[in-house]
Structure 1
Amino acid sequence: MATVTLSPAEAEKISTLQSAVASLPQIRQASLILLHFFCFVRKNCVLIENEKSGFINLVARYLSGEAQHIEWSKIQTPTDEVVVPYDSLAPAPEDAVETKKLLDKLVVLKLNGGLGTTMGCTGPKSVIEVRNGLTFLDLIVIQIESLNAKYGCNVPLLLMNSFNTHDDTQKIVEKYANSNIDIHTFNQSRYPRLVVDDFIPLPCKGNTGKDGWNPPGHGDVFPSLKNSGKLDALLSKGKEYVFIANSDNLGAVVDLSILIVVTPKTLADVKGGTLISYEGKVQDILGELTRKGLLAKDPWLWNEELLEIAQVPDENEVDGVKVLQLETAAGAAIRFFDNAIGINVHRSRFLPVKATSDLLLVQSDLYTLNDGFVIRNPARANPANPSIELGPEFKKVANFLSRFKTIPSIIELDHLKVTGDVWFGAGVTLKGKVVIAAKPGVKLEIPDGAVIENKEINGPEDI
């Protein structure tokens, strides 16, 4: 190992870690992590000083047990005073001058660090086409353009990229050069993954490519906004409020009546966080815990628009090596705010596209498009969206699109399950509960104009 000169603060942090992990047999070597890391970064200059400090603090909290531990006996369901219905809010100001004053203090920040790999796409997920040839990013820009044009305000758009999406996003935003909104980008931090067996950073073992690193979660939005200089620049321009949402959440749009919202949890939301009352304050508990059944009956879902700092350790595998990546979640920051509340809104404000089944929903007649806003069709009587399950043949966006001549009408659909080699014609209508399961080795084509209601289809004879 090369000789490394540590600053007094770094040396003190390592000493603290060594003491903290000395009694933990499974990670006795963990105190070496920072020494290895310092050797690596000082030799290769791969991290800026702020990122190094953030990484040190995150690892120190994880190894020393400084991170908060929830005592389950103290958890309570939020009261009506903590989670209030949207209809109880004061309406947005009708006076255009007052509205402009509010909006001129607002910044829209979209989390743009995700890739579209789960749906078979390359590059930023925000450039996937979702409706009428428009991408997530197109719709976001159109929404803010409409807002600025209507009220004569200046709401800027900030995109927090990751090292995975930065280069592509910089090229993409050039097409909005003539827009009436200011678009700014900044990068979130990049931290090394840790090898589970010995807690040595993966890049220190020779994997210096992108797989050796991870973005540390959307909780990193707070330090990265500050470290990038964007926070000071925005404050100097009189900005006071920031609206934070994932770029793939089409329902997360600016509403002057809302600061923080929650929406009732469904079975599709096991990854979402949950609002709780804990020792007299509102807190957010992450989906990792919810997935283990600890809060299975709690009805509240924490939305991405909210402010989440709790640690989220996540194990993955890179080239056969088990690695740990430490992340934080933005919503946990709610515990730092006195008198914080959640607002229970309709599911229309939580419309993320995580899979092609979600894409089918937003591309269908269940929604219409107006000034970039995806609006639910009032002809849908059922307040809940249809449940849609698509087989692996539909997983990738390109395959999904090729299997539909046009997206079926699903206004009266309750549940759809499709498996096997299924192809949809134009003008198909699906109603009630529909199961379409092609037999192995058989291509099943749903003819143009077919109306299928409460049926199970296994072959042409069933249509």
Structure 2
Amino acid sequence: MAATTANLPQLKSAVDGLTEMSESERSGFINLVSRYLRLAQHIEWSKIQTPTDEIVVPYEKMASVSEDVSETKNLLDKLVVLKLNGGLGTTMGCTGPKSVIEVRDGLTFLDLIVIQIENLNNKYGCKVPLVLMNSFNTHDDTQKIVEKYTNSNVDIHTFNQSKYPRVVADEFVPWPSKGKTDKDGWYPPGHGDVFPSLMNSGKLDAFLSQGKEYVFVANSDNLGAIVDLTILKHLIQNKNEYCMEAKFSFWRLLRFLMNMSMNSNQLRSSRYSTQKTYGLTFLKAIKKLVEADALKMEIIPNPKEVDGVKVLQLETAAGAAIRFFDNAIGVNVPRSRFLPVKATSDLLLVQSDLYTLVDGFVTRNSARTNPSNPSIELGPEFKKVSNFLSRFKSIPSIVELDSLKVSGDVSFGSSVVVKGKVTVTEKSGVKLEIPDGAMVENKDINGPEDL
């Protein structure tokens, strides 16, 4: 039977008994569940107007920042960089925070982020701080890891996002109250939690007292999400309280979905989320909205089965907050702003000659004439980072690659060059090695005889 508001008193009583939760977490969780039960948060797309050209600003039409160092310093002095650091690297076979996976030249996501901000601070004489929003899964490890940056010219702050109990679906009670007290009984409620958690941590007020005005929010695994002074300058000049960055294809898809009056489940089933990032938000506006309890983003129910028990997680997305901020805009940004590493196929891209690394910034090789990145599909033998690395003596040259699909027990020698469309398929139980120095172009390889 579906849960109703009649379940609320029992749920609230059980939550009151969970001593692991703070008062703000209890309040936030009950508020979230109450809205879910009362409103179901169904989106009526037919009543939503599609984004206009005034709301979605083309990046190339924004005024660039002058070369005046003092102007740049003035902009950066208003900025806080916040990276979402709550994810684990389990999908890539790693333990601990995903941000400590080595991605390029022995450097981790976090190393690159710190190097980027340190270079800005050194070059312009500013003090842009780095803030990491951890989850209960990543907090302890992150606290130890950031000690290595003690002598860097970056002030690093951390805070935890909320910790909510998973709800047993058939009884609609918190799983920890039923005896599931380990980490599997809990969950972080999505990146929409960044706004109240930043406020509740005390960090937001501290930054306001330092004269900070905007926070740039992005995932720690998106190597393209770097500080952009052009967007920051535009927001300050136009008094925009919120900015969502997205590729043109995301805005086009969003307009199409709205015009077709598709429901929220259909929207979530599309893969639009990989085409957008977060962006800049006005700190005073966050404070005002959180204090007024006005950030009531659409709720994303996320059913799961853990240890044979069907549970429910209620989550929110940061991008859904756009409608609560005054003079909010979207920015149609270049593809270079999106370089997430979600799987080892992405890792191959960023470790290859398709990109170079300068001052912590991963930059696309100008020798690549195709504006799109190659399509890469690696079989399950490559899924874990350790297995992926063991199968390459060195990462192949892929500047002229269109697509690569690899399956089976395949490994690559050193200095291999792959061009055009290439498929490598090895039969079960048979090992295939692409030899050192091989040049493979527009080939289907099914065994050594095809090399």
- Could you say whether these structures have the same fold, taking a TM-score greater than 0.5 normalized by the shorter chain as the test? yes
Greater shift in the superposed pair: 303-312 or 431-440: 303-312
Q: Distance in 1 between matches of 2:365 and 2:166?
A: 44
**Post-superposition shift, 1:407?**
0.4
1:30-45 matches, within 5 Å, as 30-31=7-8, 32-38=10-16, 40-41=17-18, 45=19
* Equivalent residue number for residue 115 of structure 1: 88
Tell whether 2:67 aligns with 1:94.
Answer: yes
1:313-352 matches, within 5 Å, as 313-352=301-340
On the 8 A contact 1:243/1:254 being kept in 2, the answer is yes
SS at match of 2:424: strand
* Equivalent residue number for residue 241 of structure 1: 214
- Could you tell me which amino acid in structure 2 is paired with residue 364 of structure 1? S
Tell whether 2:14 aligns with 1:26.
Answer: no
On the 8 A contact 1:111/1:218 being kept in 2, the answer is yes
**Post-superposition shift, 1:306?**
5.8
Change (3 A) 1:184 1:312: same
**Post-superposition shift, 1:275?**
4.8
On the 8 A contact 2:246/2:333 being kept in 1, the answer is yes
Give me the identity figure in percent.
Answer: 70
**Post-superposition shift, 1:76?**
5.0
TM-score by length of 2: 0.89
**Post-superposition shift, 1:96?**
1.0
Tell whether 2:246 aligns with 1:262.
Answer: yes
Q: Distance in 2 between matches of 1:376 and 1:200?
A: 50
* Equivalent residue number for residue 211 of structure 1: 184
Change (3 A) 1:311 1:273: farther
Change (3 A) 1:90 1:292: same
**Post-superposition shift, 1:77?**
4.2
Q: Distance in 1 between matches of 2:318 and 2:252?
A: 10
* Equivalent residue number for residue 142 of structure 1: 115
On the 8 A contact 1:78/1:277 being kept in 2, the answer is no
On the 8 A contact 1:433/1:454 being kept in 2, the answer is yes
After TM superposition, which residue ranges in structure 1, 4 or more long, deviate above 4 angstroms?
Answer: 272-279, 285-288
**Post-superposition shift, 1:79?**
2.9
- Could you tell me which amino acid in structure 2 is paired with residue 290 of structure 1? L
1:346-425 matches, within 5 Å, as 346-425=334-413
Q: Distance in 2 between matches of 1:377 and 1:318?
A: 43
1 or 2 for the larger relative contact order (CA 8 Å, sep ≥6)? 2
Greater shift in the superposed pair: 176-185 or 339-348: 339-348
- Could you tell me which amino acid in structure 1 is paired with residue 69 of structure 2? A
* Equivalent residue number for residue 196 of structure 2: 223
Q: Distance in 1 between matches of 2:198 and 2:39?
A: 27
Q: Distance in 2 between matches of 1:258 and 1:430?
A: 37
SS at match of 1:338: coil
* Equivalent residue number for residue 29 of structure 2: 55
On the 8 A contact 1:218/1:330 being kept in 2, the answer is yes
Q: Distance in 1 between matches of 2:89 and 2:274?
A: 27
Unaligned runs of 5+ in 2: 233-242, 282-294
- Could you tell me which amino acid in structure 2 is paired with residue 349 of structure 1? R
Could you report, residue by residue, the CA deviation over 1:139-169 in whole angstroms, capped at 9, with x for unpaired residues?
A: 0000000000110001000000000000000
TM-score by length of 1: 0.87
On the 8 A contact 1:275/1:302 being kept in 2, the answer is no
Q: Distance in 1 between matches of 2:263 and 2:153?
A: 37
Could you report, residue by residue, the CA deviation over 1:212-268 in whole angstroms, capped at 9, with x for unpaired residues?
A: 0000110111000010100111100101010000000000000111153211348xx
Tell whether 2:274 aligns with 1:290.
Answer: no
**Post-superposition shift, 1:312?**
1.3
On the 8 A contact 2:247/2:333 being kept in 1, the answer is yes
CA RMSD across the alignment: 2.4
* Equivalent residue number for residue 434 of structure 2: 446
Change (3 A) 1:66 1:273: farther
**Post-superposition shift, 1:56?**
0.8
**Post-superposition shift, 1:434?**
0.6
Change (3 A) 1:286 1:441: farther
Aligned to 2:140, which of 154, 162, 167? 167
- Could you tell me which amino acid in structure 2 is paired with residue 408 of structure 1? P
On the 8 A contact 1:275/1:301 being kept in 2, the answer is no
SS at match of 1:27: coil
On the 8 A contact 1:250/1:350 being kept in 2, the answer is yes
In the alignment of these two chains, the number of paired residues is: 422
Unaligned runs of 5+ in 1: 1-24, 267-271, 280-284
